């Protein structure tokens, strides 16, 4: 087993701090926490517990490959923390109309979200932080989540979130993404029993798109924000989310509100109250 605590960047930052606990794989524990999450979808601590129970063997090699590369060194120097960049809407709005920055600001403002807010939610869990390259990589992964929404066109509705999870899996393979994404999609199908909406097709398309796109975490976010959003999508090989939009179209025809599935009249009452 590679000793990542003995590997350092040129500036002396260790790859994995020696005090950082080693994750232990446990599928039963992950399933238990997923069932709890289905009962209380607002308990974000359960999401982290699921990921911790299903550590990916390829995660540390991915962290090492980026953070110790010339590109990773440049990103750490120029973009040490993304929230400061992403929450400066005044500066982002100075970019040309139609830019990724404008689309991002529109999305965050319409949803009442901030990058700092996502950090605060994570901090509430009380997870210890370590001065290592792994911490920078994980923070950057978290802070690009809402950019995924903007670039892919997947909304913050129930299906949109599952699609973003599967897109994320395509970018950074993780059994946690697979479990929550596919099980969540199956739950949506159950809630809309009898609907012709291609829910599983939507999440499969999202996973394929994520796999086929260059990793966003490796891109210079500050530079991408200045560019026309259509150019960024083209450069990152991100097509229109056609199957996801077809689900929304079908649901609306069936009298189901895709933005609030639990409140739809077509939703089985026993599932809506679960």
pLDDT per residue of the chain (274 residues) written in tens, 0 to 9: 799 999 999 999 999 999 999 989 999 999 999 889 888 877 878 888 898 899 999 999 999 999 999 999 999 999 999 999 999 999 999 999 999 999 999 999 999 999 999 999 888 888 899 999 999 999 999 999 999 999 999 999 999 999 999 999 999 999 999 999 999 999 999 999 999 999 999 999 999 999 999 999 999 999 999 999 999 999 999 999 999 999 999 999 999 999 987 544 333 322 222 2
DSSP 79-142: -S-HHHHHT-HHHHTTSPTTBHHHHHHHHHHHHT--HHHHHHHHHTTT----SBHHHHHHHHHH
DSSP label at residue 263: G
Alpha-carbon Rg for the chain in angstroms: 19
Residues found in the chain: 274
Place of tokens 């010339």: 70
Give the span between the Cα atoms of 197 and 60, in whole angstroms.
Answer: 38
* Confidence (pTM): 0.90
In this structure, which long-range contacts are made by residues 251-257, counting pairs with CB atoms below 8 Å and at least 24 apart in sequence?
251/192, 251/195, 251/197, 254/192, 254/195, 254/196, 254/197, 256/192, 256/195
User: What is d(CA 141, CA 151) in angstroms, rounded to the nearest whole number?
Assistant: 15
Give me the pLDDT at residue 222, please.
Answer: 97
Cα–Cα distance between 37 and 24 in angstroms, integer? 20
CA-nearest of 198, 216, 93, 92 to 151 is 216
| Crossing angle of helices 145-152 and 158-171, rounded to 10° | 110
pLDDT of residue 44: 74
How many CB atoms are located within 10 Å of the residue 191 CB? 20
Predicted pLDDT of residue 262: 54
HSE-up of 238 (CA within 13 Å, CB side)? 26
Provide φ and ψ at 198, rounded to 5°: -80, 70
């Amino acid at each position: 087993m590679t000793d990542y605590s003995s590997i350092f960047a040129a500036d002396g930052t260790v790859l994995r701090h020696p005090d950082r606990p080693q994750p232990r794989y446990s599928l039963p524990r992950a399933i238990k926490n997923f069932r709890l999450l289905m009962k209380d979808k607002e308990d974000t601590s359960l999401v982290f517990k699921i990921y911790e129970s299903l550590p990916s063997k390829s995660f540390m090699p991915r962290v090492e490959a980026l953070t110790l590369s010339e590109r990773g060194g440049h990103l750490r120097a120029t973009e040490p923390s993304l929230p400061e960049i992403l929450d400066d809407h005044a500066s982002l709005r100075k970019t040309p109309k139609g830019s990724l920055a404008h689309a991002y600001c529109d999305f965050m403002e319409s949803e009442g979200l901030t990058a700092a807010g996502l950090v605060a939610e994570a901090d509430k869990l009380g997870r210890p932080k370590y001065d290592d390259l792994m911490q920078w990589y994980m923070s950057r992964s978290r802070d690009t989540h809402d950019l995924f929404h903007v670039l892919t066109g997947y909304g913050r509705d129930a299906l949109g979130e599952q699609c973003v999870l599967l897109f994320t899996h395509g970018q950074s393979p993780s059994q946690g993404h697979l479990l929550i994404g596919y099980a969540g999609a199956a739950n949506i199908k159950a809630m809309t029993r009898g609907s012709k909406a291609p829910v599983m097709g939507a999440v499969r398309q999202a996973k394929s798109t994520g796999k086929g796109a260059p990793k966003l975490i490796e891109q210079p976010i500050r530079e991408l924000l200045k560019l026309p959003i259509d150019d960024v999508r083209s450069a990152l090989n991100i097509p229109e989310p056609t199957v996801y939009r077809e689900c929304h179209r079908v649901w609306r025809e069936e009298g189901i509100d895709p933005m609030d599935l639990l409140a739809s009249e077509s939703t089985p009452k026993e599932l809506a109250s679960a």
